[in-house]
């Protein structure tokens, strides 16, 4: 029966979403602690999980279509529509539990994603401000080896070359 396969796919999807919540929380902890060394790796792991979710989404679509065919609902039925069309109360409760779990995890992911984006923007601004301050106030050396303040129009390449 296709409903069993759909339920199994929904469990896998929930597990992957929980893993994504974990990875986003790790990324947030790294950002708040200033451990920028691992940010790239955390981002790569998040991308891996989202890739697995996309693949699983295809399997979910196939199973929803099969259940929709069995239950007489439109092929592109939503999970909420399947809950309403379930032939037994047991399947209605199971699908509603999946729906609520998926919605809860999706909300957590959205909040973490937004928080992480704000932290990344703040870190980027801070880095840019630090670099701008470092380069604008750095001393250079003149032809005699003496420290001299850098003019505001200094260039990386000599204009006479």
Please list the pLDDT of the chain residue by residue as tens digits (161 residues): 699 999 999 999 999 999 999 999 999 999 999 888 899 999 999 999 999 999 999 999 999 999 999 999 998 899 999 999 999 999 999 999 999 999 999 999 999 999 999 998 887 777 777 777 665 555 566 777 777 665 555 555 555 55
Domain that holds residue 15: 2-126
Q: Is residue 142 part of a domain?
A: no
Q: Is residue 146 part of a domain?
A: no
Closest by CA to 25, choosing from 108, 127, 137, 144, is 108
How many C-beta atoms surround the C-beta of residue 8 within 10 A? 12
Q: Is residue 156 part of a domain?
A: no
Q: Is residue 155 part of a domain?
A: no
Q: Is residue 115 part of a domain?
A: yes
Question: Which tokens sit at 27?
Answer: 């990324």
CATH, residue 63:
1.20.58
How far apart are the C-alpha atoms of 110 and 10, rounded to whole Å? 19
How far apart are the C-alpha atoms of 59 and 42, rounded to whole Å? 26
Q: Is residue 118 part of a domain?
A: yes
Domain count for the chain, please give it: 1
């Amino acid at each position: 029966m296709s409903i069993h396969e759909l339920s199994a796919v929904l469990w896998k999807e929930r597990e992957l979403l929980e893993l994504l919540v974990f990875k986003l929380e790790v990324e947030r902890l790294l950002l708040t602690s200033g451990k920028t060394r691992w940010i790239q790796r955390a981002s790569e792991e998040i991308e891996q999980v989202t890739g697995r979710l996309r693949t699983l989404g295809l399997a979910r679509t196939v199973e929803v279509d099969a259940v929709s065919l069995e239950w007489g609902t439109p092929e592109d039925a939503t999970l909420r529509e399947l809950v309403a069309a379930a032939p037994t109360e047991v399947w209605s409760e199971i699908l509603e539990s999946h729906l609520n779990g998926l919605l809860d995890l999706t909300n957590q992911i959205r909040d973490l994603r937004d928080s992480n984006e704000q932290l990344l923007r703040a870190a980027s601004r801070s880095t840019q401000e630090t670099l701008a301050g470092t380069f604008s106030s750095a001393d250079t050396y003149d032809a005699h080896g003496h420290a001299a303040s850098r003019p505001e129009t200094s260039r990386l390449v000599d204009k006479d070359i």
